[in-house]
Amino acid sequence: MQRIAAQKRIVERWRGLEKQGGDIADLITLATEEKDHALWDEIKADIDKMAVTLDELELELAFSGQYDARNAMVSIHAGAGGTESQDWAEMLMRMYLRWAEKRGYKTEVLDITRGEEVGVKSATISFNGDYAFGYLKSEHGVHRLVRLSPFDSDHARHTSFVLVEVMPEAEAGADVTINPDDLKIEAYRSSGAGGQNVQKTSTAIRITHVPSGLVVTCQTERSQHQNKEIAMRMLQSRLLEKELERQAEEKARLKGKRIEAGWGNQIRSYVLHPYRMVKDHRTDFETSNTDAVLSGEIDNFITAYLRYIAGRQDA
C-alpha cells in the first residue's frame, strides 16, 4: 500500500505539470489574440515555476536505485576532537533538519547522545518523504569543518570531522529477516538531567545483533516498548545497509575495479576561516555562501552529486 501511494503521488505530480502546461498554452493564445502585454509577465512567472518543477521531476527519473524512493535514516557521529567535533555534529544535524523542513519532509529524532559540554556525540534521525533516501544518499561520508574555534581562548584554527551515515528505511519482514535468537536485548536507564527529572526506571534499550556485531540504542521515548520498536527499525536499516555495501563490493570485484575502504572518505569541506567556502570533493561543486548551506540550502550539492553519479553510470 505504501508503494502504491508513492506511485500515485508521482503520477499526480506529472499530471499536474501536464495541466499546468495546458493552462500556460491557453494563456499564450489569449495574450496573443487580445494583444494583452500585461499577461506576459504572469506567463513568464508560470513558465519559470514550471521549469523548476520539471527539472526536479527529471532528476527523480534518474533515480535507479532499488531503495531510492524510500524514507531515510541518517546517523551523525562526531569524530575525534571532543567539543569541537560535537558542536560540528550538532551544526550538521540542524542543517539537515532545516533542509527537510523546506522540502516538507517529516523528521523524527530516533536517538541522540548529547556532548558533555555542547553539541552531540551521535544522533539518528528519520526522514519521511518521497525519495528521501535518493536525495540524502549524497550526504553519506565524512564532512570536514575548518574554522576559528569558539571554544579556544586563543581563537586558534581547528579542523573537525563528522561521519554521516545514510540508510534506506527497511520494510519489516520484506527486506531483512531477523532471527530473535540472534538478538541480545538489554534495558538500561536513560541518560539525561539529574535531580527530579532523572529516570528511575530502565526504559532505554540496547540491541546487539550477535552474528554481525551491530549495536543500536534508543532512549528518546519514556516507554521501553516504544524504544525497543524504534531500535528494531534502526537495526533493520543498518542490516539492509550492510547488505547493500556487500553487494556493491561484490559488483566492484566482478568488474575488476578497486574497492574503496568503506564509507569513511572525506566528501565535503566547509571552510569558515581564513576564507568562506563549501566544496564537494566528488563533484567539485562549491559556493562561498556558507551561511545559506549551514541553514539547509544544500539542494545544489545534492543535484550536482546525482548528476555526477548518473554520468558515471552512463559511462
For every residue of 6-49, DSSP letters joined together read HHHHHHHHHHHHHHHHHHHHHHHHHHHHHT-THHHHHHHHHHHH
| Span of 111-125, 145-159, 245-259, 262-276 with lowest mean pLDDT | 245-259
Q: In what order do the strands lie in the sheet with 214-218?
A: 183-188, 204-209, 214-218
Q: In what order do the strands lie in the sheet with 141-148?
A: 106-114, 120-128, 72-78, 157-168, 141-148, 266-271, 277-280, 286-287
Q: Is 17 left (phi over 0), alpha (psi -120 to 50) or beta?
A: alpha
For residue 2, give every residue at least 6 positions away whose Cβ sits within 8 Å of its Cβ, in sequence order, or none: 171
* Average pLDDT over every residue of 92-113: 96
Provide the strand spans (E) within 255-305: 266-271, 277-280, 286-287
pLDDT the model gives residue 217: 93
* DSSP label at residue 172: B
pLDDT the model gives residue 191: 67
The Cα 237–Cα 167 span in angstroms is 6
pTM of the model: 0.78
Which residue did the predictor score with more confidence, 199 or 85?
A: 85
Residue 149 has pLDDT above 90, yes or no: no
| Span of 7-11, 162-166, 280-284, 310-314 with lowest mean pLDDT | 310-314
CB atoms near residue 273 (< 10 Å): 12
Residue 63 has pLDDT above 70, yes or no: yes
pLDDT the model gives residue 244: 87
Residue 22 has pLDDT above 90, yes or no: yes
For residue 43, give every residue at least 6 positions away whose Cβ sits within 8 Å of its Cβ, in sequence order, or none: 24, 27, 28, 31
pLDDT the model gives residue 225: 92
Residue 196 has pLDDT above 90, yes or no: no
pLDDT the model gives residue 109: 95
The Cα 315–Cα 300 span in angstroms is 23
pLDDT the model gives residue 261: 37
The Cα 216–Cα 113 span in angstroms is 12
The Cα 301–Cα 303 span in angstroms is 6
The Cα 8–Cα 14 span in angstroms is 10
pLDDT the model gives residue 99: 98
Amino acid at 303: T
Residue 112 has pLDDT above 90, yes or no: yes
Residue 255 has pLDDT above 60, yes or no: no
Domain boundaries, the chain: 2-61, 72-170+261-314, 180-255
pLDDT the model gives residue 248: 77
pLDDT the model gives residue 251: 66
| Span of 54-68, 92-106, 148-162 with lowest mean pLDDT | 54-68
The Cα 96–Cα 125 span in angstroms is 9
pLDDT the model gives residue 193: 44
pLDDT the model gives residue 197: 42
Please, what is the angle between helix 38-61 and helix 299-314, to 10°?
50
pLDDT the model gives residue 167: 94
**Cell for 196?**
527530579
pLDDT cut 90: percent of the chain above it: 57
Residue 194 has pLDDT above 80, yes or no: no
The Cα 60–Cα 135 span in angstroms is 9
Structural domain 180-255, CATH architecture: 2-Layer Sandwich (3.30)
Q: Which fold has domain 72-170+261-314?
A: Alpha-Beta Plaits (3.30.70)
The most confident of the ranges 10-24, 216-230, 274-288 is 274-288
Mean pLDDT across the chain, nearest whole number? 86
* Average pLDDT over every residue of 256-274: 68
Which residue did the predictor score with more confidence, 200 or 113?
A: 113
Whether 298 contacts 98, CB under 8 Å:
no
pLDDT the model gives residue 174: 67
For residue 88, give every residue at least 6 positions away whose Cβ sits within 8 Å of its Cβ, in sequence order, or none: 78, 119, 143, 145, 160, 161, 162
Helical (H) or strand (E) element with 236: helix 224-255
